[in-house]
């Protein structure tokens, strides 16, 4: 940039497409002599996730290059928590955030695909209910009677869960994605917002100030929100929240953060 030319105003916003999840299976050639994935191969998986996220957002990487656009990497970091091993199924979860008109930050989470997943709370719309989903490898380890629950078989909770499962369809999920995208797009540029993270209608907003005071101020204005740590605001609206209600919530939060 030439001296004296004003720097373009930074518009910080989070990519509104749902985070992409790319499934890869560790090949033998990707491991080292210790039997774990060679560290540099994680960056190859990042490229897979980045390409899938762009495609889900309506951008084809090949078309972008044909039109003269590129995404050169200027900085990369990776924190290793646990090693992946040969034949593991790996999920690469990718999100993107615009830091400026010419800079994009991609974030990745590489996790081993779950053999079992627990469900609770939302499954029965708030009534006590839990469930365990097991994959092919884990399922043979359970037989009827192995896994018990205090409210297991409770007719009221079971009826609520059956109603929830029946109500959740593609139309509702698209509604959730749309309302979540509206929240993310409206929250990201607000003063004091450092980062918006989460999926669908379960969102966390990292703030540059204590979240407790923001929670109190929102409640005084008729909006119920939560905190998830000293500086994180948590939003958990119902899955059927209307677009007008999202707009109203954004107005209240914007008023509080601008005060």
Given a cut of 50, the residues of the chain with pLDDT beneath it are: 1-16
With tokens 């999926």, the residue in question is: 199
Residue 15: its pLDDT value, please?
Answer: 44
Give CB contacts under 8 A, 24+ apart, made by 8-12. Answer: 8/100, 8/101, 10/99, 10/100, 10/101, 11/98, 11/100, 11/101, 11/189, 12/97, 12/98, 12/99, 12/100, 12/188, 12/189
Domain ranges of the chain: 13-112, 116-167, 170-258
Residue 18: its pLDDT value, please?
Answer: 62
Give the model confidence (pLDDT) of 47-69 as tens digits: 999 989 888 777 878 888 888 88
With tokens 């839990």, the residue in question is: 130
Residue 158: its pLDDT value, please?
Answer: 87
Give the model confidence (pLDDT) of 163-215 as tens digits: 999 998 989 988 998 899 899 889 989 999 988 888 889 999 999 999 999 99
CATH class given for the domain over 13-112? alpha beta
CATH of 170-258, one of 2.102.10.10, 3.60.20.30, 3.30.43.10, 3.90.1150.10: 3.90.1150.10
Structure tokens at 145: 């009677």
Provide the whole-model pTM. 0.60
Least Cα distance to 235 among 182, 175, 160, 189 occurs for: 182
Angle at 26 between CA 22 and CA 29, to 5 degrees: 135
Residue 220: its pLDDT value, please?
Answer: 97
Count of residues in the chain: 259
């Amino acid at each position: 940039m030439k001296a004296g030319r004003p720097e373009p105003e930074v518009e910080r916003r989070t990519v509104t497409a749902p985070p992409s999840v790319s499934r890869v299976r560790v090949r033998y050639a990707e491991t080292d002599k210790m039997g774990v994935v060679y560290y540099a191969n994680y960056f190859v998986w990042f490229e897979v996730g980045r390409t899938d996220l762009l495609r889900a957002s309506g951008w084809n990487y090949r078309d972008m290059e044909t039109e003269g656009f590129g995404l050169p990497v200027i900085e990369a970091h990776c924190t290793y928590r646990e090693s992946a091993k040969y034949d593991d199924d790996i999920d690469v979860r990718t999100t993107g955030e615009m830091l400026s008109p010419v800079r994009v930050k991609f974030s990745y989470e590489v996790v081993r695909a779950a053999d079992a997943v627990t469900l609770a709370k939302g499954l029965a719309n708030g009534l006590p209910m839990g469930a365990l989903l097991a994959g092919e490898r884990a399922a043979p380890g359970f037989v009827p009677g192995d896994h018990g629950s205090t409210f297991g078989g409770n007719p009221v909770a079971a009826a609520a869960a059956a109603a929830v499962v029946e109500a959740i369809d593609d139309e509702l999920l698209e509604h959730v994605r749309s309302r979540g995208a509206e929240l993310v797009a409206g929250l990201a540029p607000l003063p004091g917002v450092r980062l918006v993270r989460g999926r669908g209608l379960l969102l966390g907003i990292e703030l540059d100030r204590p979240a407790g005071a923001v929670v109190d101020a929102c409640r005084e204005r008729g909006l119920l929100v939560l905190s998830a740590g000293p500086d994180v605001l948590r939003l958990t609206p119902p899955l059927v929240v209307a677009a007008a209600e999202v707009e109203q919530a954004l107005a209240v939060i914007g008023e509080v953060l601008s005060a």
